[in-house]
Amino acid sequence: MSREPGHSEEITLKETILTTQEYWKEIKSKFLVLILFVILLSSFQLFKYFTAKSTYEAPLSFMLNEEDGSAGGAISGLLGQIGLPIGGGETNLDKILELAKSRKIAQQALFTKKTINGNDDYLANHLIGMLKEKNEWNRKGFLDASDEYDIDNFSFTHDSFPSFSMTENKALKQLHGHLLGSKEVAKRALLNNSQNEATGIMTILASTYNPEISVALSKSMFEVLSTYYVDKTIEKQEYTFELIQAKTDSIYEELQQKNYSLANFKDKNQSLFARTDQLTESRLMMEIQKLSAMYGEATKNLEIAEFSLKNKTPFIQLIDEPVLPIEASKSSLIKSLITGIILGLFLGVFYLVTRKMIRDALS
């Protein structure tokens, strides 16, 4: 005998409601178990809250003003006509953020002298001391092999990078790893960089366990990064300007020498010239005229190169820099407690439901 089409659906719905009621009764009957899960997870979250290390965040924001107008294009055309190199293209904001991650920028920033807590030392040594206090410097796993380059009690004594020993190189790479962070070895990043694509504003955020170190790290990174970026951006234009300036100075010196030679020649002959002397005077006059024309053209090219250099020089504008005092950044006590309660309820319900499913399947 065939069933009506809706009959199977009614039975399924009824079974679902009954099953749900059974599971709800199971949860209510084991309410103390649920409370136990809530207490355990809440206690764990509270333990994490009270044992968490306070961090101090020092954000520094800046923006890049670099615009190539029509005047810059005209200048580039004139430079191309005189056969000298022309500057590069558009600026990419991502380039600045990638530079901030490089070890070249980091090591220059880390090896600036800073006075923190009355101690004047490299910023790198201040960071190492801070990480040692928090037991985060050169942490090793239980099964990790011993390393011949021991940096447990290490500190830098000089900033001559080419002459660094293996131990110094290892310490520098370890410190750079702490700046960038690593999920694989559970290293929290001490430095984070970001940009707002809509406004073009970039932020360097230093987050350490010491407020003075956080401020010093943000400022040092910005100073090194901005100087390096500007220098590398105008490198070609600066070379062009210096080359034209050297040629202009050379022409000017030769012009002065010819003017002196002509004046000296006239003084010696006192306007009583033989025909051969007149030829000498004419030759000097022609050379002076030629050099004068060359000097005028060189001066014009020098002015063009100088304008191009100024036009291509990017301007990195500091917006906000961190200042002391800085409040400690820590998670909320209420948020930690609510998180513990929610996790406890979820895991408790999951445990009770799973246990009943297994029990019903075996019965």
CA 207 to chain centre: 14
- What pLDDT is stored for residue 3 in this prediction? 47
Q: What is the pLDDT of residue 89?
A: 39
Q: Whose CA is closest to 130, among 58, 224, 214?
A: 214
Give me the pLDDT at residue 86, please.
47
pLDDT of residue 84: 46
Q: Note the pLDDT of residue 88.
A: 42
Residue 123 has a pLDDT of 93
H-run or E-run covering 124? helix 123-133
pLDDT of the residue at 260: 84
Block residue for tokens 């955020």: 205
Domain parsing of the chain, residue ranges: 9-51+333-362, 56-77+86-233, 238-312
Q: What pLDDT shows up at residue 59?
A: 92
Q: Using CA atoms, how far apart are residues 163 and 92, in angstroms rounded to an integer?
A: 34
Residue recorded with tokens 């923006």: 63
The residues of the chain scoring below 70 in pLDDT are 1-11, 66-92, 140-147, 183-186, 269-278, 363
Rounded distance between C-alpha atoms, residue 304 and residue 237, angstroms:
11
What helix, strand, coil percent values describe the chain, rounded to 5?
65, 10, 25
Half-sphere exposure of 233 (CA within 13 A, CB side): 28
Predicted confidence at residue 290, as pLDDT, reads: 87
Specify the pLDDT at position 87. 45
Contact indicator for 57, 209 with CB cutoff of 8 Å: no
